[in-house]
Amino acid sequence: MQFDTPATTNPIDRMKVVGKPIHRIDGQLKTTGRAKYAYEWHDADVAYAYGYGYPVGSAIAKGRITSMDTSAAKAAPGVLAVVTTLDVGDLKKGQFNTANLFGGTQIQHYHQAIAVVVAETFEEARSAASLIKVDYAEEKGVFDLETAAEKAVKPDESQQPDSAAGDFDAAFRAAPVTLDARYATPDQSHAMMEPHASIAAWNGDEVTLWTSSQMIDWWRGDFAQTLGIDKEKVHLMSPFIGGGFGGKLFLRVDAVLAAFGAKACGRPVKVALPRPFIANNTTHRPATLQRIRIGAQRDGKITAIGHESWSGNLPDGSLETAVMQTRLLYAGENRMTAMRLAALDLPEGNAMRAPGEAPGLMALEIAVDEMAEKLGIDPIAFRIINDTQVDPENPERPFSHRDLIGCLKLGAERFGWHARKAPAARREGNWMIGLGVAAAFRNNLVLPSGARVRLDGDGIVTVETDMTDIGTGSYTIIAQTAAEMMGVGIDRVAVQLGDSRFPVSAGSGGQFGANSSTSGVYAACIKLREAVARKLGFNSVDVIFEDGSVRSGNRTVPLAEAAGADGLVGEDTMTWGDLTETHQQSTFGGHFVEVGVDVATGETRIRRMLAVCAAGRILNPITARSQMIGAMTMGAGGALSEELAVDTRRGFFVNHDLAGYEVPVHADIPHQEVIFMDETDPYSSPMKAKGVGELGLCGVAAAIANAIYNATGVRVRDYPITLDKLI
Ligand code: MOS
């Protein structure tokens, strides 16, 4: 089904199940430990005779392996197999991978996998892994973004490095009030709860992979390509995932090592990446250096806005697209954005929750706060003055729906914004108190998404799609969608996810999962409804599915009876016409934060957070709120503590575990509130929904930075805002 016209009414609009605060249907499985995650998987096909694989990573950041001695490891107790990067030779790189995951002699980054040791127990594998001796021919690498940025280049047009409208330079020169400021955001790690983990089991030339993946079909293709086998020979399962944040979008080496290990020892092999391995072996959010220039009239109207960003990556790596929101968020006739890419020999930089906008808004929304202050205008009023209902670079392109102003106004009222004082003017004992605000913005992407829906003779509706649930609530909103479409209670719906035998879905990423995957289920349900109507000889136009029955005129048939013993099936894929070209689809919000900063130590404590979101129809306010508060918590980490520290001599991230890479804990987050604007977006999909999983992060750190400025009068433009930067 192609969605290419604004949605009017459809069965989803009944909102009997969709939009209701339904608790996760998979919640009990998780809280009772029965939800099987990748590393715990076992079933009849895989008896308990696993081999345990332990990875070995490169001890240099750049160069070549000249020799490896594995004899001591092979002779160690319990060892079943040792497979090295030299044994497997050069492997083909996955379509979505930047660095080689495994294979050959070349080292592209620190902790690139160079061997896997498989043993009877995890401990034996780990112990034997330490006995492998490696000789390297080390080469000099480039690890410092600041230095590398001087030689940064413009990447090819596919990455959309530049944009412009009007005459930025002239307008900026002519503006009576201007800001020209530089900002820095650090490398960040996804730091998801569940590490990357896989079990591989071969059956002849076919392989089953239980893994932790956000994108089943991307993984399946890249896994096959890396192993040099047909995609059809791979069965991939990832029904439960303990967080991803973008770190599990692309095939990772645990899957590859498990497959080689399993082949070598003739048993299923499980490999989990040890926590200290993850920061350097997998991907991270690249650091950025950003320059923002804004020129405005004295009445607050922006006349010139410019945003430049520099980030680094391995050869063939991509930009951190930190200027993207600046192309769309505020009006202004004269504009320029530019992104430049520096060559670094650090581990691969890639997507982490709200890639682009998250670090981009960390800078832009401080700049807007600074500009408002220069103008003597309240920062909310300044944002409202510069709202736009069209894409400011392409004014013929309207936003499908945009209520940034509504979010800011409602948030100001609910948060008590009127109580905000001048910088460093509010004190409670040792605490300097400040309020901060930032706009939230994240584009609304859509991806094709397929599903199959079965109706059986008991009247049970079963949804099958390779969609994933990375903790987001996919199971639940998909069940709600199918229940609404088929006119049954949610207790009559079963949802099966994360299996490559099911129709290919959007997967989980870019906050496109909820809207895209439920739209695919919608399309499949339309097909199933047609099949039911056809079987009963109903005219499908006036058929009503309600209360477990299907009705036409004065004839009512229970769904179980309609399905009969053989059952009925509907399958379809939702695709998107040119709607994203004719209409700019984005999500909006306002983040409000109150902080206290200790006058003696400079320690910042968050006291209150509020987010108001305008993101289309909210499919389930409980799971959407959980996405929001999780994202706001991540934003608090981004503002105050998260930073991968780079060793610029040896080229690696030093604080590569959760002791050194500090994410917020409960005690850091005292009070969070979330308000969703009551809205639908008729252009987004038949669901009229968008996404919130990334929106919740976008702008949070800047709101905290602005609150710290309001508390202290100290403007920090370099994240994280640790206490040393305040005193
Ligand atoms: Mo997201 S960074 O696309 O999982």
pLDDT digits (tens, 9 = 90+) for 532-566: 999 999 987 789 999 999 999 999 999 999 999 99
Grade residue 4 by pLDDT with cuts at 50, 70 and 90. confident
- The answer, yes or no, to whether residue 44 has pLDDT greater than 80, is no
Q: What is the pLDDT of residue 42?
A: 67
Contact 613, 440 (CB under 8 A): yes
Work out whether the CA dihedral 517, 522, 527, 528 comes out positive or negative: positive
| Mean model confidence pLDDT for the chain | 97
Query: Is residue 421 classed as helix, strand or coil in its secondary structure?
Result: coil
Q: What is the DSSP string of 560-610?
A: HHHHTTT-EEEEEEEEE-SHHHHSB-EEEEEEEEEEEEETTT--EEEEEEE
Is there an atom of ligand 1 within 6 Å of 55 CB?
no
Mean pLDDT of 46-63: 90
Is there an atom of ligand 1 within 6 Å of 356 CB?
no
The letter for the amino acid at 538 is F
Mean pLDDT of 314-331: 97
Cα of 195 from ligand 1 centre, angstroms: 16
SS3 breakdown of the chain: % helix, strand, coil, rounded to 5? 30, 30, 45
Cα of 694 from ligand 1 centre, angstroms: 8
User: What pairing do the DSSP bridges indicate for beta strands 2-3 and 302-313?
Assistant: unpaired
Q: Which residues contact 712 (CB under 8 A, 6 or more apart)?
A: 423, 424, 432, 434, 597, 726
- The span from the CA of 646 to the CA of 640, in Å, is 18
Question: How far is the CA of 146 from the CAs of 142, 162, 723, in angstroms?
Answer: 10, 21, 23
Grade residue 43 by pLDDT with cuts at 50, 70 and 90. low
- The span from the CA of 298 to the CA of 284, in Å, is 41
Q: What is the pLDDT of residue 6?
A: 83
Query: Is residue 526 classed as helix, strand or coil in its secondary structure?
Result: helix
Q: How far apart are the first and last CA of the chain?
A: 59
> In 15-136, which ranges are continuous DSSP H helix?
27-31, 71-75, 85-88, 122-129
Q: What is the pLDDT of residue 541?
A: 76
Q: What is the DSSP string of 158-208?
A: GG--EEEES-HHHHHHH-SEEEEEEEEE--B----SSPPEEEEEEETTEEE
Q: What is the DSSP string of 75-105?
A: HSTTEEEEEEHHHH-S-PPPTT-SS--S-SS
Cis peptide before 720, with omega less than 30 degrees from 0? yes
- The span from the CA of 101 to the CA of 126, in Å, is 20
Grade residue 49 by pLDDT with cuts at 50, 70 and 90. confident
- The answer, yes or no, to whether residue 47 has pLDDT greater than 60, is no
User: What pairing do the DSSP bridges indicate for beta strands 234-237 and 206-211?
Assistant: parallel
Contact 241, 86 (CB under 8 A): no
Is there an atom of ligand 1 within 6 Å of 352 CB?
yes
Contact 567, 455 (CB under 8 A): yes
Question: Is this prediction's ipTM beyond 0.85?
Answer: yes
Six token digits for residue 665: 């804990």
- The span from the CA of 621 to the CA of 21, in Å, is 5
Is there an atom of ligand 1 within 6 Å of 633 CB?
no
Nearest CA residue ID for atom 4, ligand 1: 246
Is there an atom of ligand 1 within 6 Å of 498 CB?
no
- The span from the CA of 657 to the CA of 352, in Å, is 17
Looking up tokens 């994203």 gives 580
Is there an atom of ligand 1 within 6 Å of 249 CB?
yes
Give catalytic status of residue 232 as yes or no. Answer: no
Query: Is residue 422 classed as helix, strand or coil in its secondary structure?
Result: coil
Mean pLDDT of 98-112: 97
- The answer, yes or no, to whether residue 608 has pLDDT greater than 70, is yes
- The span from the CA of 399 to the CA of 403, in Å, is 10
Q: Counting atoms of ligand 1 from 1, which one is nearest the CA of 247?
A: 4
Looking up tokens 């009877």 gives 120
pLDDT digits (tens, 9 = 90+) for 480-496: 999 999 999 999 999 99
Percent of the chain residues past pLDDT 90, beyond the cut? 96
Q: Which of 365, 464, 643, 694 is catalytic?
A: 694
Q: Counting atoms of ligand 1 from 1, which one is nearest the CA of 510?
A: 3
Grade residue 321 by pLDDT with cuts at 50, 70 and 90. very high
> So where are the chain's domains?
2-35+446-577
Six token digits for residue 308: 């430049």
Grade residue 46 by pLDDT with cuts at 50, 70 and 90. low
Six token digits for residue 624: 């959407």
pLDDT digits (tens, 9 = 90+) for 630-685: 999 999 999 999 999 999 999 999 999 999 999 999 999 999 999 999 999 999 99
Considering the four listed CATH numbers 3.30.365.10, 3.40.30.10, 3.40.50.450, 1.10.287.110, the one that applies to the domain covering 2-35+446-577 is 3.30.365.10
Q: Counting atoms of ligand 1 from 1, which one is nearest the CA of 354?
A: 2
